Amino acid sequence: MSDRENENATVGEEAAVADSARTESKASAGVELGKAAESADSTGADAESFPGTDESGAKAGSAALFARMRPGPRGLVAIRAALALLLGASLVTSVYYFLQDRESDATLAAHEQARAAACAYAPVLAEYDAKNLDQYFAAVLAGATGDWKKQFDDTSKELKEVLSQGEVVSKATDVQCAIKSGDETSAEAIVVIGQTITSVGTQGKPAPGQLSMVLRMSKIDGKWLVGKVNSPLAPSSAQ
């Protein structure tokens, strides 16, 4: 074989090797592209399985969640009924406590009025002068009612004789009173009266004394009057 023929043969072999390399490269690239496509398909499938992984999926998931949380027609009716019951109970409770407070205030005011009336009546009952008993009896009867008024009026003549014979003069020096019990129309008042008594028995000299009594008060026509008295001046039947 000549030198030219050998050169041509060598060139042909090199071309064949190059073509073979290009073919293998294309095949390898095709395999890699196939793997990439499979990976992309797999990723897409995963994304479809988890809609919350992208923005549109997150919005869809949130909408579904709020849709489940939103009550239906029956739920709305139940909620409204519950709110109405709560508001009604709150209103009833407020009215109840308002009435209780108003009643308590009215009772306290009545007690104070009864106490003031008892404190005013105590010196009327404890102060007298044998020389002017008619005025004393009139003042006592003016603040009396019921049993006490009848009893004092019935015994006034006997009491007048006793006080006149003894030349008794009584003066109140101190009055203390408090309400024991009661309501808006009646009350019991405890009264303690410090007094000085001058009489034939004391030889005309003032002697200190103390008079304790329980007054049963009644509110009649807007005025607090004494209906019963438990005191040394009252007969035993008044106790």
How much is the average pLDDT of 87-108?
Answer: 64
Q: Is the pLDDT of residue 36 over 50?
A: no
Q: Which of 143, 152, 149, 121 is nearest to 223 (CA)?
A: 143
Comparing 86-90, 157-161, 199-203, the range with the smallest average pLDDT is 86-90
Domain ranges for the chain, please list them. Answer: 103-238
Sheet containing 223-230: order of strands: 128-129, 169-182, 186-198, 207-220, 223-230
Are the C-beta atoms of 123 and 101 separated by less than 8 Å? no
Q: Is 60 exceeded by the pLDDT of residue 107?
A: yes
Tell me the sheet residues that pair with 196. Answer: 171, 208
- What average pLDDT does this structure show over 60-84? 57
Which element (helix H / strand E) includes 176?
strand 169-182
CATH number assigned to the domain covering 103-238: 3.10.450.540
| 19-33, 103-117, 123-137: least confident range | 19-33
Tell me which of 48 and 119 has the higher pLDDT: 119
pLDDT of residue 30 exceeding 90, the answer is no
Residue 87, Cα to own-chain centre: how many angstroms?
Answer: 16
Identity of the residue numbered 200: V
Residue 44, pLDDT score: 46
Nearest CA to 211 among 236, 191, 188? Answer: 191
pLDDT for 47: 41
Token digits for 130? 């044998």
Give CA torsion, residues 92, 98, 103, 106, to 10 deg: -160
Q: 15 or 148: whose pLDDT is higher?
A: 148
59 pLDDT above the threshold of 80: no
Q: Which residue has the tokens 């104070």?
A: 112
pTM: 0.56
- In tens, the pLDDT along 178-225 reads 999 999 999 999 999 999 999 999 988 999 989 899 999 999 999 999
Which DSSP category does 45 fall into? H
pLDDT band for 11, please (50, 70, 90 cuts).
very low
Both tokens assigned to 164: 């006149």
The total number of residues shown for the chain amounts to 239
Give the Cα separation of 52 and 55 in Å (integer): 7
Average pLDDT over the chain reads 74
* CB of 110 closer than 8 Å to CB of 219: yes
Phi, psi for residue 201 in degrees, rounded to 5: -65, -30
* pLDDT of 134 higher than 60: yes
Q: How far apart are CA 195 and CA 169, in angstroms?
A: 10
